[in-house]
Structure 1
Amino acid sequence: MRSQNSPDRLPTSPSSPFRKALMSAPALTLNDGRTIPQLGMGTWPMTDAEVAPVIVTAVELGYRHIDTAVKYGNEAGVGEGIRNSGLAREELFVTTKLDGVYQGDDKAIAGLDASLGRLGLDYVDLLLIHWPVPSRDLFVSTWRTFEKLLAQGKTRSIGVSNFKPAHLERLRAETDVVPAVNQIQISPYIPRAEQRAYDTEHGILTTSWSPLGQGNALLGEPVITGLAEKHGKTPGQVVLRWHVELGLVAIPKSASATRLRENLDIFDFSLDADDLAAIASLDQGPGVGVDSDVDGH
């Protein structure tokens, strides 16, 4: 059992300096005029029991952006953590996602109601279609339902996840609201420059899931470790700063207070053009990462 003084726990007495946020991320403006913190806390694959105390720690450190999904199975724990944090609801940006079960026939209405019940919230700040599932051809009708939920105030903004430009073109042609966000897999290994360019051209903010890559290979790359030494930062901080320099929102996941603190401490340095060029050399090319035409749920 860890002691109360473990580096992966924050002191929580009323006099603790951690009772006030240690740092915070800047906010970016969405195409609907609302704002989103540029760095958030990812919650997959934590369980309800695991995620609730981590939310409290994250809020104490300064996180104001929490990302969950029905598919993660931890919305109840996220809601518990939000309540236990003691932070006013309007101070937090909460994202959830509805997967393929809730596509078509206004199923997203009941889906979001169930999510709000588990979260214990009256609204979410951002609701995403978790995957286009193009083989079912229901994402356009689902988006129209999202527009209804937006009008009803059950979500403040609406967006998508794992959508390619072709999927977004369908939404542009057949619906009224441009997605505020497209959350896709991005890291220096998988930079997806064309998808990012499309999003930017159409006023869609790109959010990076798995921003530190999968496994530890990326953080052990000599390019990354060399830049970490150059800037006096950790490899993870260099990679997250790369996302910031590209104007992306990043949602790294960690249950460690030490790592959560490190992930947020990336706004006091910058990467120069040479740094960015070096990181660009890590691009593994097309054909890597998830393919939203064949993967999904």
Structure 2
Amino acid sequence: MGKRSLLGIIVGTVSGVFLLVAALTSWYTVDESEQAVILTFGKIDEEVNTPGLHFKLPWPIQTVETLSRETFSLQFGYKEENGKVVATNKGDTKMITGDENIVLADMVVQWKITDPAKFLYRAYEPEQILYNATSASLRSVIGSSKIDDALTSGKAKIEADVRESLASLMKKYDIGISILAVKLQDVDLPNDNVRKAFTNVTDARETMNTKINEANKYRNKRTKEAEGEKDALLSQAEADKVARIEKARGDVAKFNALYEEYKNAKDITKQRLLIETLEQVLPYTHIYIMNDDGNTLKYLPIQPIEKQATEKKTEKGSGSE
């Protein structure tokens, strides 16, 4: 075999290998949950977010780095093994509150990659940077909070403050990470004696709140009852007022009518008023009308006649039955 034949075999082999490498490295796929960065001679050239089959220049001209677009969970102060929560180094979770008490706090951070180029090449180990920023944010917020807030009702505010601080740090570092949510997993005390004391305090506070709620409920009930009684009294007073006004108007009308009669016949009206007054003052007394000389006048006894007529009607009704 001559030199030319050997050279031809070598060139053919190299060409075949090159073509094979070019064929194998000239395409790539991006899954729906992935994003990609194309590098040309090591320099960022393009970001690809469209899923599917894509083509590029063969290696080593262009290379592809793919990253997930899904949400990641950063577990600070603990980790999960076989579905169980296992505490890590307590030095990470031990913190001092604003009123100089020690607590153990761990949390989970939900985050995702929003800029793959910055995440890959802006900083070294961006996940470690996120972990350290989480520690700094949590310690800062716990350090300005009271222990009662950290253990009981102030957890929601602590989570909101940590998220705001951590998002601000990620924006400042500019490493392509966005914070979605933070959640305190557990805030506890370092030993059993202190834990028991604070448990008693918490129970007492809950009892106090229960008593306050019951008192407020009773106060509201009595207030509503008093308001109902007040409305009833006002309604009754209003009705009495209307009734008295109408009665006064009737008395005025009666008096005006009587006064008109009095102007037309003063003596007769005067005697009539006198007799009616006597009948009202002395309802069971027989009235006799006297002359000026002291003699009794004869008059028709209307009351006995009315009584007899009433008795006859009663007897007649009984007999018909």
Mark yes or no: TM-score above 0.5.
no
Which structure carries more relative contact order (alpha carbon 8 Å, separation 6+)?
Answer: 1
Name the structure with the higher helix share: 2
Between structure 1 and structure 2, the one with the greater Rg is 2
